[in-house]
Structure 1
């Protein structure tokens, strides 16, 4: 991210590409992945592709290979974590544990009356709650740790308090504004509604059932986690601590676990969370005249000549991630790198174009 105000990955970060091509042979796929890896200037780069369950993983980077193979390390997802949060919300609503139309403030403070036009769980996940990207006092608190771990200085209770005190300018559901703040609030509302801590809730409802055995919400060590780097591509940065923003950016996962996650979306039938996996692919919001972006409760959706393409990007102070899948051709892509996002960065456009042109 260029500043803690946002993790890149919104549609504004990519240029739409559509293509219709004949199926590719394995050698062509490997060659295309290698070209993508070489196009990304970062210490560690992994592009992992699944086609109808057949996986191809290619790695590289400007740094010497780490002691643990790059594809075996866990990478920080940043805002791509929101796809897991969206799936969790869909699962909880599909199973009847709660409704996406429930007022978030009432879940967080049962004594509070919902009032007129309350912010609902659906508003929070679709970035239509009328909330800013971050709470108004975030930058003041984060400034002493701006280059290390600014989110760590803003704990869960402050996120909730900032939401309950927020004076909205627009009626919820009327405007779209990408908000880490909103999705963080959603996470706290879900933990309150289920009386379950966030790590237990996401693990028990999503990570565990889908078999993502290596995914986690907390940093590990150099034997398990990739090391991020500043914009210079050489200076290491500490692991991300997200404070009260877990639902917006805490997931860490290996490329193979990410492919497992995406493959479940490609073929939900007979899998755990099947109904929720289908639900998160249904369009729920179009941004309006002049925008081609369609949103689901977990993904951005763009058209291709063959069918819809779903994607989400994310970044932290030292890493970037891109997740995407195309049900029409049974293809999913998980891409990661260990260099902080900077102006003109090739990572997201390269990953987006690779998936769009498959």
Structure 2
């Protein structure tokens, strides 16, 4: 992770918060009816190419929304665009925004050692894993706890995370001995973000669920977003790779901060539009800050990350921000691009498979100038 930078005090590459401003505005051509028709055709083509029981591709451009849905399954009683979908790891964009808001509002610094929060009285040591490390995947933790696979194996095709509760996640963290100093290597970790979620409770006096509701969902009016299953009348039903068999609703177990959010396409667009136009009300400062690169890695530092998003350049315009996610039976892609005032939310009720066109189609919609 050469050249990495982390955003808060207590992390090894910065000693002051770096809550930066928005990307410089660019001149954007006026959106015309022809542009809307073209985007509609692209969304319809993406729905068809995804080959899933239920598919929704939703786009917002300058606040004008276009949604297209379809699928190989019979049309459900509830409109596909009104159902809640599991977004899996894209939940981390909500958790990243939450942590950034808590830092921006002065409740936390991001440099708090997770071990002393989760085990009061324990010596943090000379190089502790901080909340910032956990959120930015620089904690040194593996993707999942070492004993996760053994515990999850009996339910591997149904609900493996449900067999690994919160107490076990915390215990696995307290027993873990990192091979590398925190902050020197990037390694994507559901484990780390899950630990962050649990560490927020002793740090703030409120659970991740309550904090997210109070500081993100309620202020952004995300009333059709949930943190647990509500049943088939409200939630889309996931399927296996071939789309033929249904799977149970996803239970995040002890990993809610890493993957528990489920939302309607309209709520997801509302969430993304808030990043494009934060306004003045909380968490506006955090919405601006989560655009800021906090680390760069890879050859030529070509891989750029913010606290919450992957950040890629585009061919001729400004950067795009995105995150994908998957559960056992559903997939999601969220992204936004400030220079074209575009947001894309894509959802399907089929497990990921090799050569899957779903994510690439969503990415292409956002990357196109």
Same fold (TM over 0.5): yes
Answer whether contact 2:200 2:207 (CA < 8 A) is retained: no
Aligned match of 2:299: 289
TM-score (norm 1): 0.93
Aligned match of 1:174: 184
Q: CA deviation at 1:290?
A: 4.6
User: Does 2:268 match 1:258?
Assistant: yes
Q: CA deviation at 1:198?
A: 2.2
User: Does 2:328 match 1:317?
Assistant: yes
Matched residue of 2:299: which SS?
A: coil
* 1:229-274 superposed Cα distances (whole Å, 9 cap, x missing partner): 0112110000000110000000000000000000000011224311
Answer whether contact 1:321 1:336 (CA < 8 A) is retained: yes
Aligned match of 1:197: 207
Matched residue of 1:25: which SS?
A: helix
Aligned match of 1:149: 159
Aligned match of 2:11: none
Larger deviation, residues 263-272 vs 123-132: 263-272
Aligned match of 1:278: 288
Change (3 A) 1:327 1:82: same
Matched residue of 1:185: which SS?
A: helix
Task: State the distance in 1 between where 2:361 and 2:54 align.
Answer: 15
Aligned residues: 339
Answer whether contact 1:300 1:310 (CA < 8 A) is retained: yes
Aligned match of 2:319: 308
Aligned match of 1:187: 197
Where does the alignment leave 5 or more consecutive residues of structure 1 unmatched?
A: 1-19
Matched residue of 2:68: which SS?
A: strand
Aligned match of 2:122: 112
Runs of 4+ in 1 over 6 A off after TM superposition: none
Q: CA deviation at 1:127?
A: 0.5
2:350 aligned residue (318, 339, 345): 339
1:70 aligned residue (43, 67, 80): 80
* 1:291-324 superposed Cα distances (whole Å, 9 cap, x missing partner): 5221000000001121010000000000000000
User: Considering only aligned residues, what root-mean-square deviation do their CA atoms show, in Å?
Assistant: 1.3
Aligned match of 1:353: 364
Task: State the distance in 1 between where 2:242 and 2:35 align.
Answer: 37
Q: CA deviation at 1:205?
A: 1.1
Matched residue of 2:127: which SS?
A: coil
Task: State the distance in 2 between where 1:75 and 1:351 align.
Answer: 16
1:61 aligned residue (52, 62, 71): 71
Matched residue of 1:314: which SS?
A: strand
* 1:33-75 superposed Cα distances (whole Å, 9 cap, x missing partner): 1111111010000000001111000001111111100000000
Answer whether contact 2:28 2:339 (CA < 8 A) is retained: no
Q: CA deviation at 1:330?
A: 0.6
Where does the alignment leave 5 or more consecutive residues of structure 2 unmatched?
A: 1-26
Matched residue of 1:286: which SS?
A: strand
Answer whether contact 1:42 1:61 (CA < 8 A) is retained: yes
Task: State the distance in 2 between where 1:21 and 1:230 align.
Answer: 41
Task: State the distance in 2 between where 1:254 and 1:21 align.
Answer: 28
TM-score (norm 2): 0.90
User: Does 2:230 match 1:225?
Assistant: no
Aligned match of 1:214: 224
2:105 aligned residue (95, 110, 124): 95
Aligned match of 1:135: 145
Task: State the distance in 1 between where 2:192 and 2:360 align.
Answer: 26
